[in-house]
């Protein structure tokens, strides 16, 4: 009984230590952000920097409130987020399906391997104008650009994950007469859920790159449009505000994936 109490007390202390460390990390992260913004604001107030080129936090905040009250910012955010979600999900799903096809057929994987290497080395954002000409201006062109940016890395990550699965487990299932589909469903996919989650984290950023580049070229609304418009009329506070909004949106989506990962890890344990 005393041993159980001792273990319980040690476990409680361990949990308290972890929580304390997490709080310390969060406080440090917030402090760094506050310090950087404060230095920026002070430098602007003392005319140590050119506010025409860099703007400053309080001016950006006032512009943000102005856009919120006018309701215009919500429309731009909604458009960019929808484009990103569609591009992100489509790129991820298509990438996983193609990776399954490559794992399923060794012949197809060997045929497509050099093409995937070349596509991965190409700057996909440079192909955005061609994609938009082919697909058409508007939402479709922006979404396809987002897919193009994320799909190749998804294919390569997932396919490499499929190949690294323990071959002994596969042989054991095949010995008992399991079909290729059963091996895929029972071993390959479950073993690669962590790889899938890490790929989702990468794809969040890549999809945003595709969406913003597409909006730079053809959009009449969205975060990318605000950045381009602000640059064209030399409203750098609008550009900086849009960048901050973009950073917050990307961080929120990333945290969403992180929450899914955390719940999966708890369920797995």
Q: Which CATH number fits the domain that encloses residue 173?
A: 1.10.3720.10
Burial 176-198 (b: 16+ CB within 10 A, else e): eebeeeebbeebbbeebeebbbe
Output the pLDDT for position 22: 84
Verify that 38 and 152 share a domain, yes or no: no
Q: Is the pTM of this model over 0.85?
A: no
Yes or no: say if 213 and 125 are a contact pair by the CB < 8 Å rule: yes
Residue 85 reports pLDDT greater than 70: yes
Residue 268 reports pLDDT greater than 70: no
Q: Compute the average pLDDT of residues 66-83.
A: 85
Mean residue pLDDT of the chain comes to: 83
- How do residues 153-198 score in pLDDT, each as one tens digit? 888 888 888 888 877 787 887 787 778 788 888 888 888 888 888 8
Q: Compute the average pLDDT of residues 241-247.
A: 88
Tell me which residue has tokens 């002994």.
Answer: 168
Q: How many angstroms separate the CA atoms of 199 and 157, rounded? A: 7
Q: Compute the average pLDDT of residues 43-52.
A: 83
Is 228 a member of any domain? yes
Verify that 219 and 183 share a domain, yes or no: yes
Is 185 a member of any domain? yes
Q: How many angstroms separate the CA atoms of 111 and 123, rounded? A: 22
Domain span at residue 25 reads 1-49
Domain count, the chain: 2
- How do residues 7-34 score in pLDDT, each as one tens digit? 577 777 777 888 888 888 889 988 998 9
Q: How many angstroms separate the CA atoms of 131 and 9, rounded? A: 61
């Amino acid at each position: 009984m005393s041993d159980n109490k001792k273990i319980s007390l040690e476990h409680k202390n361990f949990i308290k230590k972890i929580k304390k460390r997490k709080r310390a990390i969060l406080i440090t992260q917030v402090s760094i952000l506050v310090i950087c913004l404060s230095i920026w604001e002070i430098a602007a107030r003392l005319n140590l920097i050119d506010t025409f080129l860099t703007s400053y936090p309080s001016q950006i905040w006032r512009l943000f409130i102005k856009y919120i009250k006018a309701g215009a910012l919500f429309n731009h955010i909604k458009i960019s987020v929808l484009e990103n979600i569609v591009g992100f999900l489509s790129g991820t799903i298509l990438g996983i399906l193609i990776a399954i096809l490559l794992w399923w057929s060794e012949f197809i994987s060997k045929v497509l391997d050099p093409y995937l290497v070349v596509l991965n080395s190409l700057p996909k954002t440079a192909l955005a104008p061609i994609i938009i000409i082919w697909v058409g201006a508007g939402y479709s062109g922006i979404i396809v650009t987002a897919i193009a940016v994320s799909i190749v890395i998804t294919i390569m990550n997932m396919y490499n994950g499929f190949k690294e699965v323990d071959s002994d487990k596969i042989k054991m299932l095949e010995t008992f007469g399991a079909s290729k589909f059963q091996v895929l469903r029972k071993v390959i996919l479950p073993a690669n859920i962590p790889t899938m989650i890490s790929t989702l984290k990468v794809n969040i950023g890549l999809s945003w790159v595709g969406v913003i580049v597409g909006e730079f070229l053809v959009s009449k609304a969205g975060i990318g449009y605000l950045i381009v418009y602000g640059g064209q009329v030399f409203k750098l506070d609008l550009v900086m505000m849009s960048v901050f909004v973009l950073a917050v949106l990307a961080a929120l989506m990333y945290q969403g994936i992180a929450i899914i990962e955390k719940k999966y890890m708890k369920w797995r344990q």
